[in-house]
């Protein structure tokens, strides 16, 4: 088990299975707003479902509409359970805040792998390696 700390962007508590991307994510046009599936061709997570997962990625990218897109995903029950970034960007931060999705950044995301069980409470991130 690993204990990591980060800066709280949106306070909250969540746990679940990690889905980790080595590349930035945009919630506008990259994630289908109706299904929560990554649809951007060539992205490492293409075809993956983000709903209910602890979504881990370096930073956000793209249009300011991404904040609303994340909110739309949350209202449809297709949003991630929490977001962990190496470095937050304002678009994802605003989206997490208005969507009530726990979010932390300034985390060494290289310590988290897809399939790990992750729990977030405030700025503390607990990681249990996948078995």
> What domains sit in the chain, N to C, each tagged with a CATH number?
2-128 (3.50.30.10)
pLDDT interval class at 62 (50, 70, 90): confident
pLDDT interval class at 131 (50, 70, 90): low
The pTM (predicted TM-score) of the whole model is 0.96
Q: How far is CA 107 from CA 72, 110, 111, in A?
A: 26, 9, 9
For 117, half-sphere exposure in the C-beta direction (CA atoms, 13 angstrom radius) is 4
Strands (E) located in the chain: 2-5, 7-10, 13-20, 54-57, 82-85, 103-105, 117-121, 124-128
pLDDT at 13 over 90: yes
pLDDT digits (tens, 9 = 90+) for 31-60: 998 999 999 999 999 999 999 999 999 999
Active site residue 63: yes
Catalytic residue among 63, 67, 99, 110: 63
Q: Which residue has 């470095």 as its token pair?
A: 87
pLDDT at 130 over 90: no
């Amino acid at each position: 088990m690993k204990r990591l700390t980060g800066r709280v962007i949106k306070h909250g508590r969540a746990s679940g299975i990690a889905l980790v991307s080595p590349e930035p994510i945009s919630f506008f046009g990259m994630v289908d707003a109706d299904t929560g599936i990554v649809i951007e061709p060539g992205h490492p997570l293409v075809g993956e479902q983000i709903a209910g997962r602890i979504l881990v990625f370096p930073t956000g990218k793209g249009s300011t509409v991404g904040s609303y897109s994340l909110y739309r995903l949350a209202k449809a029950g297709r949003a991630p359970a929490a977001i962990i970034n190496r470095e937050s960007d304002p678009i994802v931060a605003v989206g997490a805040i208005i969507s009530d999705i726990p979010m932390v950044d300034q985390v060494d995301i290289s310590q988290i792998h897809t399939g790990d069980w992750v729990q977030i409470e405030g700025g503390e991130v607990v990681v249990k390696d996948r078995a």
